[in-house]
Chain A
Amino acid sequence: MAERKLRVATTSLAGCFGCHMSLLDIDERLFDLVQVVEFDRSPLTDIKHCGPCDLGLIEGGVCNAENVHVLREFRENCRILVAVGACAITGGVPALRNNIDLWDCFREVYQYEAGTAKGVLPNDPELPLPFDKVRPIYEVVHVDYYLPGCPPSADVFWKFVTDLVAGREPTLDREMLRYD
């Protein structure tokens, strides 16, 4: 019996929010979930900074400076940090750019692409600067668990969280294990 609710923070770094959508796909089990879980910083709550949490779920890889700040904030505050989805685990689809020179990326996006402001490269300090390569989060901070899938299915989330709440070592059944 969980006396205290599990405090959970979630975020999407270089991801597509697909993992978050999949989490919501647990449908009516959401009601069961909120019995045992409360949300800290998350796109679901609009809390801006992560406070001390039991569990941090990270979707997406690390593609820019801001991602590192957020990821480190999560690592510092979350007892258990989880890499959620292919992007957080391997870089995923955003990492397809890793074979392309960053200069070429910028030129392609801001100079050659129709409709850009006369090919001006953006230099606003508000914009997070991109890294040479997109990296999985475990190459930046220590990660405790991994939930593979693109996105992981609702069942994967459910199994993981219920294992955790029940005090079991979280494991995935073979049928839940997919990288795509």
Chain B
Amino acid sequence: MSGHFIIDGRTIPFRAGQTIMEAAADAGVYIPHLCHRPGYTPHGSCKLCTVDVDGRPASACTAKAQEGSIVENDTPALNDDRRALTEMLFVEGNHICPACEKTGDCQLQAVAYHLKLVSYRFDHFYPARGVDASHPDILLDRNRCILCDLCVRASRDVDGKNVFEIGHRGIRSRVIVNAASGRLADTDIDVSDAAVRVCPVGAILIKRRAFAVPIGKRTYDLKSVAEVAIEEVRAQREDEGG
């Protein structure tokens, strides 16, 4: 069953089984997101993609598009809430962008720019979830992790390994790795794994790449998070088509 629905007053088509996020992206409409990535099983945990569907909040990355439904996305009220949510992610971890190699390539940062997160009101947690530098090529800084589960899905579904999982619960949740020592070096992860590249933030980094691209010339220095997201989907569609 395919059809049409309305997002922010614009009628857009959808194909059977598509989520609101997928249909919107195909139509060039950006819905802020962090735990969603085209081609991956939807997770629905960051809640940044919350939209109003016929007056009720829903996660665009998991909710299926429905014929005739009216979706609100880019509204001041929703963006206020998303900004607060982004602030919550920032204070939950240790995000010291000036000291982070990911700066400029980081989706959390880019989404925060998009939402114009300037002022902070919530106190920082300054967690000590541990940094794992054991691997010769890969760094895992759990204090920058936003628990999006993408590395878990990438390792399991793309790489055919099980390097990552989310362990513990609540505010103590953290990424754990597949080794009795708890060290990344003792897992079968490889620097070419999808799990290494999929991390939207600076929690999983490839070592010695820090300044391959200078600050000021990085992904989100040149384009907005919305432009990048829509281009990614276009490129993917072209791949599928050709």
Residue ranges of A at the interface with B (Cβ–Cβ < 8 Å): 86, 89-93, 95-96, 98-99, 133, 135-136, 138-139, 143, 145-146, 148, 150, 172, 174, 177-180
Contact = CB atoms under 8 A, between A and B. Distances in A.
B44 interface: no
Given A174-B116, A177-B118, A96 B96 contact: yes
Interface stretch (B10-18, B123-131, B148-156): B123-131
Contacts of B104: 180
Contact of B98 (A93, A99, A135, A174): A93
Given A95-B126, A133-B126, A180-B103, A148 B96 contact: no
Contacts of A135: 124
Given A150-B98, A172-B118, A179-B98, A99 B103 contact: no
A64 to B, nearest CB: 17
Interface string B100-141: 100110000100110010111101101010000000000000
Interface string B178-215: 00000000000000000000000000000000000001
B116 A177 contact: yes
B211 to A, nearest CB: 12
B96 A174 contact: no
A180 to B, nearest CB: 4
18 contacts: A86-B98, A89-B120, A90-B95, A90-B120, A90-B124, A92-B98, A93-B98, A95-B94, A133-B126, A138-B119, A139-B123, A139-B124, A146-B119, A146-B120, A172-B118, A174-B113, A179-B97, A180-B104
B96 A90 contact: yes
Count class of interface residues, chain B = 20 to 34
A177 B121 CA distance: 18
Given A95-B94, A148-B118, A174-B116, 13 more contacts: A86-B98, A90-B90, A91-B124, A96-B99, A98-B126, A99-B94, A99-B143, A174-B113, A177-B116, A179-B97, A179-B98, A179-B103, A180-B100
Contacts of A91: 96, 124, 126
Nearest to A93: B99
Nearest to B113: A177
B101 to A, nearest CB: 11
B167 to A, nearest CB: 19
Nearest to B126: A98
B164 to A, nearest CB: 22
A143 B122 CA distance: 12
A138 B97 CA distance: 18
A172 B115 CA distance: 12
A142 B239 CA distance: 52
Mostly, the A contact residues are mixed
B124 A146 contact: no
- Interface centre among B113, B116, B126, by most chain A C-beta atoms within 10 angstroms, is B126
Nearest to A139: B123
Contacts of A99: 94, 126, 128, 143
A138 B120 contact: yes
Interface in B41-100: 90, 94-100
Contacts of A179: 97-98, 103, 109, 112
Nearest to A133: B126
A136 B96 contact: no
Contacts of B97: 86, 150, 179-180
Indicate the member of B98, B113, B121 with the most A CB atoms within 10 Å. Answer: B98
Contacts of B100: 180
Contacts of A143: 119
A92 B118 contact: no
Contacts of A172: 116, 118
Contacts of B96: 86, 90-93, 95-96
A95 B97 CA distance: 12
